[in-house]
Structure 1
């Protein structure tokens, strides 16, 4: 049975800064490995300041259609959705995206020719490749499956569905902030961003991994 959650929250503007695996190209499978969930994320420079998050960050929504979820797992996803919205609404999320670095430069790996600021804007606009309207929302179709493997979930470029492995989703070792990370990682594939299929040194600096780790760290501080 499919249920649709459209969680709408409006956050107040924050007064100052700091508030608050394979490539997806060509129809290939994109998955995230469980061994990489707890990797260290990059922290923005302490002295890097930005303007407050824009209105689009405050009004960002998450529209999730769920299939095959137990009541407990639905509840976990719903909590993850709330965390995603709180993180995106914050000034700190904007700062960490804009100040993300690879090899000393403010850039993501495999950034599709976009600057950090353009990637941040693309996230807020929420125009997925298969649903290209700019609706200021993360639109995801989530479906569970089970496999006794070291894969949290996966998707493919030519489908809207993101598959989530019940092996991890139902585990107490996989709290809502990790679900938020996984959802964000896979959704960024839906925006057209990819990463190396192998665990290369640069892969953590790709958009799905880099932003996913930012989401994980910030959501954990809230959760």
Structure 2
């Protein structure tokens, strides 16, 4: 059974913790569905039966790497997403910015940062997908910084969308 483990939560208020815990529970529940496993292994898009920016891995290997839970900051396979979450105070960007960032994770760092403007508006399933997306970076998966026609097919984006869609049904 795959686990989601909250190691720390900096910047979150006590009143935020229930929402945070519920979103993480949805992330964990989605990870333990056969549907998610099937969607990862059988993923296909305009690029064929593979993810964009997949480190040269097959879909089966992407699945195995995600479920191994071996973050760059934690030695060993533990079948657990070990999360270090930070809530960053930031106002919502102007309306004309069509796809504003909702958070970020810096390469090589442990933290998953989420902007306050989005956290307080997000549905639980959206948070689950966001945490999945950002956590996949901690496993070494990446995507283009700027929007491209195929960025949504990268492991972080596609995986995050899958988790969110499944979490929405739980």
State if a TM-score over 0.5 links the two structures. yes
Higher helix proportion (structure 1 or 2) = 2
CA distance in 2, matches of 1:145, 1:205: 27
CA contact (8 A) 1:124 1:137 kept: yes
**Residue in structure 1 matched with residue 2 of structure 2 by the alignment:** 60
**Residue in structure 1 matched with residue 74 of structure 2 by the alignment:** 131
CA contact (8 A) 2:54 2:154 kept: yes
Q: Deviations over 1:115-173 (max 9, x none)?
A: 111111111110011223111100110011111233211111121111111111112xx
Q: In structure 2, the residue corresponding to 1:142 is in which secondary structure? A: strand
1:69 aligns with 2:12: yes
**Residue in structure 2 matched with residue 208 of structure 1 by the alignment:** 156
Q: Deviations over 1:1-50 (max 9, x none)?
A: xxxxxxxxxxxxxxxxxxxxxxxxxxxxxxxxxxxxxxxxxxxxxxxxxx
**Residue in structure 2 matched with residue 112 of structure 1 by the alignment:** 55
CA distance in 1, matches of 2:48, 2:101: 31
How many equivalent residue pairs? 162
Alpha carbons of structure 1 residues 141 and 104: separation in structure 2 relative to 1, 3 Å: closer
RMSD: 1.2
Structure exhibiting the larger radius of gyration computed from Cα positions: 1
Question: C-alpha displacement at 1:104, in angstroms?
Answer: 5.8
Unaligned runs of 5+ in 2: 94-99
Unaligned runs of 5+ in 1: 1-58
**Residue in structure 2 matched with residue 122 of structure 1 by the alignment:** 65
CA distance in 2, matches of 1:215, 1:103: 20
CA distance in 2, matches of 1:208, 1:132: 21
CA distance in 2, matches of 1:101, 1:132: 31
CA distance in 2, matches of 1:212, 1:126: 15
CA distance in 2, matches of 1:76, 1:66: 12
CA distance in 2, matches of 1:69, 1:190: 21
Normalising by structure 1, what TM-score?
A: 0.70
Question: C-alpha displacement at 1:83, in angstroms?
Answer: 0.7
Normalising by structure 2, what TM-score?
A: 0.91
